Every structure is written in structure tokens, then in C-alpha cells.
Structure 1
Amino acid sequence: MRLTVTSWNINSVRLRIDSVLRFLAEARPDVLCLQETKCPDDAFPLKAFRGSGYENVVFAGQKGYNGVAILSRFPLSTRAVMGFCERQDARHISAVLGPEAGAAAGIALHDFYVPAGGDVPDRALNPKFGHKLDFLAELRAWGGRRPSGPAILVGDLNVAPLEHDVWSHRQLLDVVSHTPVETQALETLRNEAGWIDSARLLIPEPEKIYTWWSYRSPDWAAANKGRRLDHAWVSPELAGTVRRVEVFRDARGWERPSDHAPVTLTLEL
């Protein structure tokens, strides 16, 4: 059985609902995990997604910022939301694929939106950066308690951990998302919990991988100054099933795009 799971920071699900529906029609992933939906639960466009064949949807939202959602062609069970840093700010949601998913039944899906961290990489000067580091520390502690069993973790983790996950390692060492304190924190928590970085499993360095291109660039495609902020990790039980990780770069060029592109993980179970 082939299972496809896509992660996409959509930067407002209502503003970009047409783009999401277009992607679902063209790519048809089994599961789509969204971040930064910027939508309170009572306004989530549930009807539109169910009309596109994604009957099974779980979400946690807030008005104007944050927000995560999982859309699935298969039934989902045991929905859960975790809070971090003593905040209930809709940065995580999880669910488990139900028995109808066949060989994928029982796989836990975790969808994360890690704080961006602001512009100044100094905890003392920038509380947002301190919040990000605290979030990563708590995520590390959670990873160590992760229940055994097959699991997939995806999301906008807002860290480009490796040298070739950014357009210029040297120039971005003091830029939030690629500072050593962030990259070390992310890689430490991933390694300690045993998560496998699917993209780098199949596409090792020095090949560049980007999933995000800034709105500030007048011609993002030509400049191609990207970063790999969006990730798809699998638990050790699933490492041997990873077949493909694809960045759907074309979506970054659609009308009124998100600054992130969808990232699709394909497993052969």
C-alpha cells in the first residue's frame, strides 16, 4: 500500500482555500496536514474539504494566527492537542489512522507549527526567540516520551537544521531559523527520540532542499534564496518504507501564494 502525507503552511486557510482545493484535486494526497490556518474553529471551511473527498478532518484554530489541521481520506481516531509553554495556542494536533486505512492503520500523525521566533536571535532582547527555544525544549521532552509504534511527524518546524537547508550557510548563521542554538536544538531532539528525517534519508547533503521562499524577495524564483523549514519525520518502524519526499515548488508561484510550498512524503507499506 502506498501512503502519501503532505505538510503545508498555508498562511490562512480561508484566504487560500482555492489553492488548497486546487492542490487536493491535482496531487490527491491521502493526508494533508496544514499549519498557520489562522482560523477559529467555528469558521473552519470543513464543508469545502469534505466536498473534495476529505471527509475526515480534525483541527485546532485561533482567530488571526497559528492553527493546525489534518485532512484525511481515511477515518481518523484519537484526536489530541498538546499545549506548550503553558499556552493553548493551536500549534499541535494529532490523530491516528483508523482500521479502514489498511496497512497504514494505527499510524499516528503529528502536525506541528513551531514558533517562528521573530527577527533577533537573542532571548534577552526578543521574547519571541525565547519562546521558540522554550518550545523546542518542551518538544524535546515530549519526544523522549513518545509512545512506541509507527508515527509520522510533519509541520513547519521553522528551523533549517543543516548547512545545505539554506541558500547560504555562512550568511544565515546569525539569522533566526538557522542559528546554531536552533539547529542544534532541533537535531538533538530528533536524534534523541529516534525520528528519521525523511528528506535527508533520500536526498543527502550537499544537495540543496528548500520549502520556503520569502515574500520580501522581488523575484523569489530567480533569486532562489530558500530555506528548508518544513519537515517530514518518521519513527524507526517506518524508515524502511520511505520512498519519496517531494517539494511541490509550483504552488509557491500560484496567485496569492503562501511563502511555503507543500511537502509530500510517500511511504510504501
Structure 2
Amino acid sequence: MVLPSTDSLAVAPPLQPDAVDQVALATLYGEPLFQLPQDLYIPPDALEVFLEAFQGPLDLLLYLIRKQNFNIFEIPLAEVTTQYLQYVEQIRSHNLELAAEYLLMAAMLIEIKSRLLLPVHRADDGHEPEDPRAELVRRLLEYERIKLGAVKLDQLPLLGRDFWRPQVRADFSHEPRYETVSPDDLAQAWRDLLARAKLHQHHTITREHLSVREYMGVVLRRLQGHRYLGFEQLFDVMRGPQVLVVTFIATLELAREGLIELTQAEAFAPIYVRSAQRSAN
């Protein structure tokens, strides 16, 4: 029996990463990342650090004056110009187009400083010449007023930012609709009228000439001043069946000629009569 050598029985050490003592830069899919990939692309502006942001040359110049509590009517141009050029030099390395507008203001500051260094000559009329800084001070004060006004306007409640306009929708298209009066409904209403008329029968015999046209006018007069009138209210049950018949025929004739309308809220509901001219208005 041949025993294996002790070298062959040695346990293989576990696999370890090459950089054991290093700190992982990141974790990618659960695995530590000790080195950045060679093909990793970082845009030039990704790590750019922005300093104070200004709206323009006047904004920067006003910031330098107010920050150091300078008198705006006695601007120390040498010190302010030096600080101004330092800021312009910073933005020139990042955005040359943006620096062009600031360079124009820097040239104006240098010009004003040069004019202050020159001897002052009186005008022909004896008046002293205007301070070279006067125009710059006027522009700064005007810009400051506009800037403060913009801040106050921005503090006002703004629609869509601080509050919303209430919106209420009202649907006026749903007008009340009435069911069409069927002949059966008219027949039932007529039977009810006859039943009520029989309760008031009397034995007085009179001869009366009844005109349908006359009772058409009677029905129209009864509808005057009323928006709706019940179907039963058109009939005088005390006058007897003859008057009821003539009034009923007059009502049908008015409905046929379109002078009145018969309406009903729903099936088996009371019938109402209204004037066609009043409904048209």
C-alpha cells in the first residue's frame, strides 16, 4: 500500500483578490470594484464647481459693492476693479462667451478709473465736468431698484405655484324632460272627470248652445297668468256633462293647433296643461 505524500494532501488556499488591503472604490453588481475601468468616460463639466451665480455684469458689480459696504456714490474703483477682474478670469476658463459681457464692463471700469486719474478741466461755461462715475452709479441704482422690485413681485402669490384657480363645471344641458301624453292617459283623465261630474248631477233642464270656439277662448283665458295648470282645472264640473264634453273637445282642438301643450312628468302621473306661447318665451 502506497501512502500519498504530505505535499499532495496539502489543502489549496482559497482564492483571494489581488488587492486585499485596498479599499473598494465602489460595488458593481454586488462585487467590490478596486480599480476604475479603463474605458470609463467622465465628461469635462461633470466635476465643475460653480462659484457665485450672477445675472450679469451689473449684478456682479452691485454684489461686490454691497458685500463690502462701499458707498455707491464713492466707489473705490481700483479695489472693485481688481476683484471684478479676478471673477472674470475665473469664468473665462469655463465659458468664453459668457465672459465677453463681463469683459465689456471691466473695460468700462478701467476707462472710468483712467478718467479719474486725469486732471480735471473746467468747461467753457465755468461748470465743473460731471463725475465719470455718475453714469455707472445711475445704472447701478436703477438695476438695484428693478432687482428689488422683481424680488417683491416673486414674493407675491403666484397662480400655479402658491395657489390654484378653482374650477367648477356646471352642466346646464340636462333640462327636465316630460313624458309624452298618450291617448290612454287622456282617456283615463276623461273617465275620472265624468265620474266626478256624475256626483254633481241635478234635474234642472235647460237648453244651452255651446260653441267649441268659445270654450277654446275660455281655456286660453284660464291658462293666462299660470305656468302650469292641472288638466282637471280646465273643466267646470258644476256645469254638467255637456259643458265638460265641449271643454274637452276645445282642449283637443287647441292641442291640435299647437296653442297649448299637454305634459306629464312620468307614466300615470297627473297631466298638466300650459300655453305654447309661454313655453316658447
Query: TM-score scaled by structure 2?
Result: 0.18
User: Is the radius of gyration larger for structure 1 or structure 2?
Assistant: 2
Q: Which has the higher strand share?
A: 1
Higher relative contact order (CA 8 A, sep 6+): 1
Q: Which has the higher helix share?
A: 2
